[in-house]
């Protein structure tokens, strides 16, 4: 049942304009409900999405990179963050549900944990007009 709700929600958000006029808080609440239908879930081969919540004007994803420990990134964290930000910005620009949040001046925050659940970086996306 959750898979069907997820697919319907995806289709409605991506291919319909009905959400364009909704206020930011409603978009954040609905986005958290939508993403939580598939959480926990893999974002890619190295990343598990642990949670999705909305706080204030932000949609907050907590993710675990389950193949690394934060010490492995100490020397290259800036480069890693830059690369990751670029990927996340492209995703937000092509996913209407996320783009609507940014257009309405909301934020999308990604908190990354390592495989032992130690936080090691946070990426915050803001309006990308």
**What is the per-residue pLDDT across 25-34, written as a single tens digit (0 to 9) for each?**
999 999 999 9
| pLDDT-derived band at 111, boundaries 50, 70, 90 | very high
Q: Are 66 and 115 in contact (CB under 8 A)?
A: yes
Task: Please tell me whether the overall predicted TM-score, pTM, comes out greater than 0.95 for this model.
Answer: no
Task: For residue 125, give both structure tokens.
Answer: 């996306």
CA 119 to CA 94: how far, in whole Å?
27
Phi-psi region of 15 (alpha: psi -120 to 50; beta: other; left: phi over 0): alpha
The domains located in the chain, with CATH, are 2-125 (3.30.300.250)
Mean pLDDT (the chain, rounded)? 86
Instruction: Taking the CA atoms of 21, 36, 38 and 122 in sequence, report the sign of the dihedral they define.
Output: positive
């Amino acid at each position: 049942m959750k898979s069907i709700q997820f697919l319907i929600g995806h289709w409605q958000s991506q291919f319909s304009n009905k959400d364009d006029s909704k206020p930011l808080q409603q978009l954040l609440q609905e986005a958290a409900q939508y993403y939580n239908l598939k959480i926990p879930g893999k974002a890619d081969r190295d990343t598990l999405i642990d949670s999705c919540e909305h706080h204030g004007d932000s949609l907050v994803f907590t993710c675990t990179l389950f193949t690394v420990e934060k010490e492995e990134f100490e020397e290259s964290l800036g480069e890693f963050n830059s690369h990751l930000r670029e990927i996340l910005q492209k995703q937000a620009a092509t996913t209407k549900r996320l783009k609507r949040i940014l257009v309405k001046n909301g934020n999308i925050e990604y908190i990354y944990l390592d495989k032992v659940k130690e936080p090691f970086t946070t990426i915050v996306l803001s309006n990308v007009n």
